[in-house]
């Protein structure tokens, strides 16, 4: 029987085991949305940012590993299935990650990360070019994992400081490790995996809306809110997959060596985080809007909606600027103007607030479409 290499083939494609792993992470995204919705105050926002970073970094590190590994290899598939099972319990512990399940969350998170590092190491045994880059990455990553473990054990204020420090260590590890050559990135597979996570986050908003509408008494206002949520989510999907993603994919495909790995690190692993957290903030607002479709949204809810749209839409512009050197100026300015309008109009119903959001996003898409190109901007 011919031995199957654990190193990814040149035509690496997304496989069913990766899709299964992503579906498990839907639960963790749902838990972060619930964390924000249940008590939308500054301390909860900080908690959501910390835990979603850990969820995101666990997912994106394993995505890097699966980009380098042959996902049709039985050891890789077994490792991904184990990681998915552990990630499920990570999601279960997430709502109490700053209470009595802090250590439980930390242990499950670290376990997912360790599986990714093990898979990377197995690939490096056959792909010697990966050894140097991986060595630096592992050493720096372990420091962040220790900080998460100690923070989960200590709890209290120390947990916030140590988990925040772990994020800084993760960013530093990415900054240093990404500069090395030898990662052998497969651009199509890499971008498709991140695109799937964007779909997961956007789909979560529709799941939240549908769940709330199912349990409510139908009214004209409720139906209007539901229609607007679907329209806004579809517009956000269009802004990413039709307008921005092709430019990001082309830039990654066109780069080589260390330039390609640093671009993958910056554009996908780092800049996609604020974009996706923006979708989570938007999803938390959707739950409030569907529950109270008649009256005006509270200030904190309008801020969540405004910030969510800016993070996703303008964050996307930052990713395109990093990848291509082109600034999507109209997109940034219009998203800012839309956010200001959402917050400023305080005495209107949830339907009107969502109409403002939809109008702003559609204005961006129409303006970009009329130019016949991706962007309405000047090359910087």
Q: Where are the domains of the chain?
A: 14-184, 186-380
pLDDT in tens, 268-286: 999 999 999 999 999 888 8
Q: What is the CATH number of domain 186-380?
A: 1.20.1410
Are the C-beta atoms of residues 342 and 356 closer than 8 Å to each other? Answer: yes
Cα 307 to Cα 315: distance, rounded to the nearest angstrom: 11
Mean pLDDT over 225-239 rounds to: 94
The residue behind tokens 């590092």 is 117
Kindly provide the b/e burial profile for residues 79-105, where b requires at least 16 CB atoms within 10 angstroms of the residue's own CB.
bbeebbebbebbbbbbbebbeebbbbb
Closest residue by Cα to residue 67 from 127, 157, 152:
127
**Residue 379 pLDDT > 50, yes or no?**
no
Residue predicted with more confidence, 296 or 130: 296
Q: Which of 29-33, 114-118, 213-217, 347-351 has the highest mean pLDDT?
A: 114-118
**Which tokens belong to 90?**
């990570």
**Residue 40 pLDDT > 80, yes or no?**
no
**Residue 160 pLDDT > 80, yes or no?**
yes
Are the C-beta atoms of residues 241 and 235 closer than 8 Å to each other? Answer: no
DSSP letter at 5? P
Closest residue by Cα to residue 324 from 250, 266, 261:
250
What stretches of 181-271 show up as alpha helix (H) in DSSP?
A: 187-214, 220-238, 245-254, 257-263
pLDDT in tens, 238-250: 999 998 999 999 9
What's residue 380's pLDDT?
41
Q: Which of 42-46, 147-151, 285-289 has the highest mean pLDDT?
A: 147-151
Query: Torsion angle of alpha carbons 312, 316, 322, 325, nearest 10°?
Result: -140
Mean pLDDT over 196-217 rounds to: 84
The residue behind tokens 């190193």 is 7
Are the C-beta atoms of residues 48 and 35 closer than 8 Å to each other? Answer: yes
Mean pLDDT over 240-265 rounds to: 89
Cα 67 to Cα 12: distance, rounded to the nearest angstrom: 8
Mean pLDDT over 32-43 rounds to: 80
The lowest-confidence range among 78-87, 122-131, 370-379 is: 370-379
Q: Is the dihedral of CA 26, 200, 16, 123 positive or negative?
A: negative
Q: Is the pTM of this model over 0.85?
A: yes
Mean pLDDT over 180-190 rounds to: 81
**Residue 373 pLDDT > 60, yes or no?**
no
What's residue 313's pLDDT?
93
Cα 117 to Cα 57: distance, rounded to the nearest angstrom: 13
- Euclidean distance between the first and the last CA atom of the chain, given in angstroms as a whole number: 55
What's residue 375's pLDDT?
46
**Which tokens belong to 311?**
């993070």
Are the C-beta atoms of residues 90 and 108 closer than 8 Å to each other? Answer: yes
pLDDT in tens, 70-92: 999 999 999 999 999 999 999 99
What's residue 370's pLDDT?
77
pLDDT in tens, 358-372: 999 999 999 888 775
What's residue 216's pLDDT?
72
Cα 68 to Cα 63: distance, rounded to the nearest angstrom: 9
Are the C-beta atoms of residues 317 and 245 closer than 8 Å to each other? Answer: no
What's residue 167's pLDDT?
93
Mean pLDDT over 37-64 rounds to: 88
Residues in the chain: 380
Cα 142 to Cα 159: distance, rounded to the nearest angstrom: 17
Cα 162 to Cα 150: distance, rounded to the nearest angstrom: 7
The lowest-confidence range among 135-139, 155-159, 242-246 is: 135-139
pLDDT in tens, 164-176: 999 999 898 888 8
**Residue 377 pLDDT > 80, yes or no?**
no
**Residue 265 pLDDT > 50, yes or no?**
yes
């Amino acid at each position: 029987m011919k031995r199957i290499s654990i190193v990814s083939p040149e035509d690496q494609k997304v496989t069913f085991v990766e899709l299964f792993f992503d579906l498990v992470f839907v639960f963790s995204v749902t838990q972060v949305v619930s964390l924000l919705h249940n008590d939308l105050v500054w301390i909860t926002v900080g908690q959501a940012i910390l835990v979603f970073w850990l969820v995101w970094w666990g997912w994106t590190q394993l995505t890097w590993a699966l980009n380098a590994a042959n996902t049709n290899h039985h050891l890789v598939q077994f490792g991904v299935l184990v990681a998915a099972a552990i990630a499920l319990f990570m999601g279960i512990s997430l709502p109490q990650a700053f209470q009595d399940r802090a250590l439980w969350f930390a242990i499950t998170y670290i376990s997912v990360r360790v599986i990714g590092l093990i898979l990377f190491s197995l690939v490096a045994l056959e792909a010697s070019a990966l050894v140097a880059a991986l060595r630096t990455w592992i050493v720096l990553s372990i420091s962040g994992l220790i900080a998460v473990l100690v923070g989960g054990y200590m709890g209290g204020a120390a947990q916030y400081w140590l988990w925040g420090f772990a994020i800084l260590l993760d960013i530093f590890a990415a900054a240093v490790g990404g500069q090395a050559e030898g990662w052998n990135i497969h651009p199509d597979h890499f971008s498709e995996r991140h695109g799937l996570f964007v779909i997961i986050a956007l789909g979560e908003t529709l799941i939240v809306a549908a769940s709330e509408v199912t349990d409510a008494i139908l009214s004209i206002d409720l139906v209007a809110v539901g229609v607007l949520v679907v329209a806004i989510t579809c517009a956000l999907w269009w802004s990413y997959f039709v307008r921005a993603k092709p430019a990001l994919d082309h830039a990654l495909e066109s780069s080589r060596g260390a330039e390609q790995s640093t671009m993958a690190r910056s554009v996908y692993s780092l800049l996609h985080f604020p974009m996706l957290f923006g979708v989570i903030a938007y999803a938390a607002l959707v739950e409030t809007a569907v529950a109270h479709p008649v009256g005006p949204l509270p200030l904190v809810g309008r801020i969540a909606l405004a910030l969510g749209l800016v993070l996703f839409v303008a964050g996307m512009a930052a990713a395109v600027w990093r990848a291509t050197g082109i600034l999507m100026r109209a997109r940034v300015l219009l998203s800012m103007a839309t956010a200001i309008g959402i917050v400023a109009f305080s005495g209107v119903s949830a339907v009107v607030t969502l109409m403002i959001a939809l109008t702003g996003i559609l204005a961006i898409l129409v303006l970009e479409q009329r130019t016949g190109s991706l962007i309405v901007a000047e090359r910087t």
